[in-house]
Chain A
């Protein structure tokens, strides 16, 4: 579920941070820039893991910023294809089920990835799995196990003047999952037995 990614970046320490130890200032700077943000094709950055190397601090003309080149490793959330994870049901629509984890919201299970015999109940707005005459409910807020089958990336960098103003921003990182295989789906179905 988590990987370490090695980055190199220029860290600029502003004068108000000079009272901090340089390593603390660098750490805060990197975390402020990366934590809880998605880097395209890498994943959701969580926190700095360790600093591998730093250059001398250099002050350029015009500003009082200290420039330091840093090489560091980040903890990144990036489940691999085929990984089985836990998530919670956020909402259901006829097209599938939206899942979330506490820290990541964009997980979608399309209807064709639900087990055979699953049907959508329009009045309750939930999915129901008819299994051996039993009706099993995909209730909201229920813990489920799912398998990651695909990921989708949308770069949010502005496209320039050609971009229409009212186009809604697409989520930068989206996970597509499956709950069709045996053992996947609401945890209670499998653990309770």
Chain B
């Protein structure tokens, strides 16, 4: 084994999930399984990516293959670092407070209006959880169940 390039690219959670679900479908079509260690880690990772409050848990998904380029384009005036954009993609901060954890020294770099604008852009491009969804106790399962009944 030789490492040719330690970090050839950075992937967002959405791209990883995309790759893994495609791979799963491909295995299903050919009616075969991957090695057991692969099956385990893929199952656990998909479970992680699709559990609340991860934005990818939302169904139907608000992410599309275009989301990434669209977000990059619209956030480009703010000159965020690559890592910050990746975190925005992965966590989808829905408020200024949540954005504050992701962006370093946000108070000094951006005015209050700019912060609000960024949150709006994220909301428009990546969507958000429905307000009537999981309640404050985080009973995502309960909310989903009642949704099915009605």
Which B residues lie at the A interface, using CB under 8 A? 1-13, 15-16, 19-20, 23, 34-35, 37-38, 40-42, 44-45, 47-48, 51-54, 83, 86-87, 90-91, 94-95, 97-98, 100-102, 104, 136-138
Contact = CB atoms under 8 A, between A and B. Distances in A.
A58 interface: no
Interface of A: 1-9, 28, 31-32, 35-37, 39, 41-42, 46-47, 49, 71, 73, 75, 78, 80, 82-86, 101-103, 143, 145, 147, 181-184, 187-188, 190-192
A41 B11 CA distance: 18
Nearest to A10: B1
Contacts of A71: 4
A9 B90 CA distance: 31
Contact of B8 (A5, A46, A103): A5
B42 A46 contact: yes
B19 A47 contact: yes
A32 B138 contact: no
Contacts of B5: 5-6
B2 A9 contact: yes
Nearest to B47: A102
Nearest to B2: A8
Nearest to A45: B41
Given A4-B11, A192-B136, A42 B6 contact: yes
Contact of A3 (B9, B45, B90): B9
Contacts of B19: 47, 49, 75
A49 B22 CA distance: 11
